[in-house]
Amino acid sequence: MTTSKHIETQAIHSGRINDEQFGSLATPLYQTSTFIFDNAEQGAQRFAGESEGYIYTRLGNPTTRQLEMRMAALEEMEDAAATATGMAAVSGALLANLQAGDHVISSNAVYGCSFALMSHMLTKFGIEVSFVDMTDPSKIEKEIRDNTKLIFLESPINPNLVVLDLEEILNIAKKYQLISVVDNTFLTPVLQKPALLGADIIIHSATKYLNGHGDVVAGIICGSKDMIEHIKLTALKDIGATMSPHDAWLILRGLKTLPIRIERHCENARTIAQYLDSHPAVDKVYYPGLKSHPGFKFIGKQMKAAGGVIAFELKTDLAGGAAFINRMRLFSIAVSLGDAESLIQHPASMTHSPYSEEERRSAGISDSLIRISVGLENVNDIIADLQQSLDTIV
């Protein structure tokens, strides 16, 4: 295992399990549902936790374990749990740590399904949730109650790219002994490491940048050894939201190029954001890499760069926005982000449709907002596609 602290090296070598039998360079894919015991006594010992070894892939798998170890190293956490989807990471982190009567504080804008889980599902089981504008951290303290257990947030926020002051918010969590959960999907550990600012749990939709090739749905939870063991032995084991070894193998392959992919995503996005900001058909651009964005002050402080996602509003109505999207040729109309291909979608009617109109307005998600995930294509080709559609609006 590498001892390097350079993320480019860690992304290739951290958590590596050597194939002592055959010497395979690539990570072996253990595509098996169950594992053979030498005898009945060994099986009993493994179930009792008295001896090491694998039992059943829902409980652990060598390929999946290598991914967990690599992600723990990248996020500078002690351990990690691989989950079946990004939402399994969200629900696993929450359900393992909450019970009826508890109270959660969440940022008022989050991914649509994270919002639905907290506002619709958790409340069915007697868990209270308050959605707060965390751009003013003092509002968080005003919402803390005797039964508050956990703080959940994204930064930058999906879909409007609001950047939150992680250090200040996580200090509040520590002050009141609350569990902090940070969704780091948009920036990945290449650009932001919430653990260094005090986060207890870091989650990812590994579907996105970590895999990077649009052929997996998966999630990751990073935390302390005790926390990850607790999550694995409760929510993940009993609900069954664990990752398949084949998906883990694909993500391990994707991670090898994560740092260089992120570099290109950021370069392309910065150039495109500047282009959009200057186009007469664009009303407003939301991208922390622009000096006009309130989140720009955090670059170099809590995040290395602004990432590869841009949101913007057009000088047109809802129908005009739909027509703009439909005219795209290079962009694929699709939800998700972090793929090699550039993607475009309409949050209000797609990823954030679980919000009511009033809830979207409160979260700063307008009906005219468009979100793009900037891909790895030549930046001039991406701009040309945006231009041919934007020019019809002017």
Q: Which residues pair with 44 in a beta bridge?
A: none
C-alpha–C-alpha distance, residues 274 and 259, integer Å: 23
Q: Give bridge partners of residue 220 from the DSSP assignment.
A: 82, 204
Specify the residue for token string 């468009």: 370
Max Cα distance, the chain (Å): 75
Three-class HEC string of the chain: CCCCCCHHHHHHHCCCCCCCCCCCCCCCCCCCCECCCCCHHHHHHHHCCCCCCCCECCCCCHHHHHHHHHHHHHCCCCEEEEECCHHHHHHHHHHCCCCCCCEEEEECCCCHHHHHHHHHHHHHHCCEEEEECCCCCHHHHHHCCCCEEEEEEECCCCCCCCCCCHHHHHHHHHHCCCEEEEECCCCHHHHCCHHHHCCCEEEEECCCCCCCCCCCCCEEEEECHHHHHHHHHHHHHHHCCECCHHHHHHHHHHHCCHHHHHHHHHHHHHHHHHHHHHCCCEEEEECCCCCCCHHHHHECCCECCCCCEEEEEECCCHHHHHHHHHCCCCCEECCCCCCCCCEEECHHHCCCCCCCHHHHHHHCCCCCEEEEECCCCCHHHHHHHHHHHHCCCC
Instruction: Round to whole Å and give the CA distance between 149 and 161.
Output: 26
The answer to whether residues 130 and 161 touch, using CB atoms and an 8 Å cutoff, is: no
Do the beta carbons of residue 282 and residue 313 sit within 8 Å?
yes
Residues labelled catalytic:
58, 111, 183, 208
Cα separations in angstroms, 268 against 205, 383, 385, 388: 22, 10, 14, 18
